[in-house]
Structure 1
Amino acid sequence: MTLLEAIRLPRSIAQRLRIEAEKQGMSLEEYLVELATRDLDPPERAREYIETARALLEQAREELERGDVRQAAEKAWGAAALAVKAYAAWREGRRLTSHGELWEYTLVLRKELGKWVSSAWNAGNSMHTCFYEGWCEREHVEDAIEEIERLVKTVEEKIKKTHTET
């Protein structure tokens, strides 16, 4: 079940949300998370981002089981983007609002977590392309989910470690 199926909204509002998400280069889920977390303090925002990233990875797997490769790809992309946003919020209290800022910030993660972050980020971006172009196959999405999951888990461990120390 998609988020819009779970929440009953007038069609015009649902369509407006989807259009605004697309304008921002975000999945609908990512856009709604942005709206819902805008007034949270950065540590809480980071926790919400990473929790949603985990949920999106699970949804991506469910979409693959149903055979919807494009939706699975979009969920995987959202998880990668939210992992990067979570790290920025956790590390610097920074809110990333554009694709350019996401790309730029992945260099911080790469420096601090390792070169593998570039591969995970590239996997996420290829899933964003897959969603719009529909060129990828199930195996591409499965591979991307594996790489993105490592990114999500690593960021989550950093956030949780700091949260339990405070």
Structure 2
Amino acid sequence: MEIAVKATYAHMLKDDSLVENSEKIYLVEFRFDESWEGYSKSVIFETGGIQQPPVTLTDDRCIIPAECLKKAGVNLRIGIYGVKDGVQRDTIWCLTSRIMYAVDPLKLIPPVFPGGDITAQILEVIRENTATDEEVQEAIDDAFQSSWTPPDDPDDPENPDNTATDEEVEDILNDVFGEEP
């Protein structure tokens, strides 16, 4: 993650995808303009209204404290301030993207049933994550309710005489998605 810091504001140069309770070490690098020369710089991290103790920068870098990644769905705020000759500069805040929820990779794999057919398991996962028969039927009904009808020229190669009837389409859909209850 990189943050540009000017005299009175800061903005993200490069954001990082922060994940809750991650074991990854997230490094923040700051790019200060000349107005910050001679200041000893510190950073304050805040998530979900909880502020962490200040972190002193080393070579204009620091690590995001793990405590900041305990809660997903909230933004991380990073405040930068400096001290020079006993005078403290006002804190400048920068907002990062939201901390993402951690996902258990095992939940992404379809469940395996002993002796079960893997094809059936995959189809079950697809069925659970797709439209219902009613939603499919409604979409098809909407799509085919146009007023256009093909011309009646059987010799026209653009208008073949072998198109399916509404009943044939419904039979095919029932074969694929099952009968309507």
Asked which structure has the greater RCO (Cα within 8 Å, sep 6+), the reply is: 1
TM, length-normalised to structure 1: 0.25
Structure with greater helix share of residues: 1
TM, length-normalised to structure 2: 0.23
Structure with greater strand share of residues: 2
